[in-house]
Structure formats: C-alpha cells, structure tokens
C-alpha cells in the first residue's frame, strides 16, 4: 500500500479507492482583475498553488487515477443562492471583469487554463462552500468505491476546510496537500492546516505534494 509522510502520521491509501479532488481553481478567484482581487485580496497567495498542482495532476493522470474538479457558482437567476449567502455577498451575480460574478457559464466561473479538466474528468458545480452540499459528489464517490480523498484547491479556510469536514463526517479519509491549497491570508493558511491535523488528525492528514508524487510514480 502506498504511504505518504504526513502530519500527524503517515497516510496510507489504496490506489483503487482514492480520488484527487481539485476545489474551485477558478478564474474569478485566481486571475488578476478577478473577483478575488476586486475584494482587495492578493491573488499571488493562491497562484503559488498552480505549479505544484500542475505537477501533481500530470503524475496523477499518468498513474490513471481519478480526478474530480469543483466550481463554486450559481444559476443565472440566483435561484440556487441561499439568501444568507447573497446578503453577505451582494456582489454575486453583479458584472465583474470576467463576466457576472460566480455565475455558471461566465468566463470567470470556469477553471483556469493551466488546470483545465481533461476529457472524462468529473466537474461538479456547487452552490455552497462545501463540495457535498446540493451536489451529487457522494453518489459519484460511492459508485466508484472511493474511500480516500487527496484534497487540493482554494481557499484553505473556506471551501477546502468545509469540504474536508463534510468528508470526515461521511467517513472519508482525507489528505490535504499544503503546497496545493491556498488562502489569501497567510495566517489562515497556517492555522487552517494545523486545525486539520490537530489532535491526532481530527479532520485528516497534511503533507506536501512531492511526497505523494513519489509514491504514485513508483
């Protein structure tokens, strides 16, 4: 069984029951001039994940292992946007540099070119922070016999954390790759990763992508 050096302990997994989850690597969040930057955030903090995640995807695909991508966004009429979310994010649906913000089908809603999904890879559109809420992710994982998730994407403290917590409650074992997840706020990045591996791995394990690449490339 492949085993990765991780915190708080080594992470073992079976290739046949492990999927790579790439969360919300969307233009609106990562591109200069996009929604994220319009809020005053430093998109460089997220863009540092692109290079290691590209390398991981190359190795993962070469090993023939499953990849699942997610995109956060809403129907054009915002009918699937919870009122509380819209109240705290009134810019959702408004015109942005890359089209209407967080609206499916707009240029900014789609995944960045560097990490474009390959043919046959699952892309899940989610209206919430977590990848399980109001999506068919559970059914997809169960049908494929997936029990372990390698989690990457943005942002560490919001969509990544929410998804890992949801996965943990559903019995999935999660490995979060520190160099392949990102936050606009360095302190949130540091603490968010610590929280996942705290108390013996309360939500999962944390490792660096080269250690995983080495295992799947054997």
Which residues are part of the catalytic machinery? 24, 126, 159
Residues 113 and 146: beta-carbon distance below 8 Å: no
Residues 103 and 73: beta-carbon distance below 8 Å: yes
- What is the distance in angstroms between the CA of the first residue and the CA of the last residue of the chain? 11
User: Which residues does 214 contact at the CB level (< 8 Å), separation at least 6?
Assistant: none
Alpha-carbon span 213 to 57, nearest angstrom = 9
Tokens representing 33 are 């001039």
Tokens representing 195 are 């929280």
- HSE, side-chain direction, 13 A CA sphere, residue 42: 8
Angle between the 50-62 and 209-216 helix axes, to the nearest 10 degrees?
A: 10
Tokens representing 201 are 């791995």
Residues 107 and 99: beta-carbon distance below 8 Å: yes
Burial 10-30 (b: 16+ CB within 10 A, else e): ebebeeeebbbbbbbbbbbbb
């Amino acid at each position: 069984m492949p085993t990765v050096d991780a915190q708080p302990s080594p992470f073992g997994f079976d290739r046949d029951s492990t999927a790579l989850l790439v969360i919300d690597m969307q233009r609106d969040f990562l591109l200069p001039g996009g929604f994220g930057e319009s809020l005053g955030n430093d998109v460089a903090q997220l863009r540092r994940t692109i290079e290691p995640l590209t390398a991981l995807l190359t190795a993962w695909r070469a090993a023939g292992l499953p990849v699942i991508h997610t995109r956060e966004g809403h129907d054009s009429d915002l009918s699937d946007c919870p009122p509380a979310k819209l109240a705290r994010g009134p810019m959702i649906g408004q015109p942005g540099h890359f089209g209407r913000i967080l609206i499916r089908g707009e240029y900014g809603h789609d995944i960045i070119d560097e990490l474009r999904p390959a043919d046959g890879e699952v892309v899940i559109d989610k209206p919430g922070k977590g990848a399980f809420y109001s999506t068919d992710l559970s059914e997809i994982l169960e049908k494929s016999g997936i029990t372990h998730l390698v989690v990457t994407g943005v942002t560490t403290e919001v969509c990544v954390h929410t998804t890992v917590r949801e996965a943990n409650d559903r019995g999935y074992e999660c490995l979060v790759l520190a160099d392949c997840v990102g936050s606009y706020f360095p302190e949130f990045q540091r603490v968010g990763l610590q929280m996942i591996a705290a108390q013996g791995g309360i939500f999962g394990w944390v490792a660096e992508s080269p250690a995983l690449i080495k295992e799947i490339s054997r």
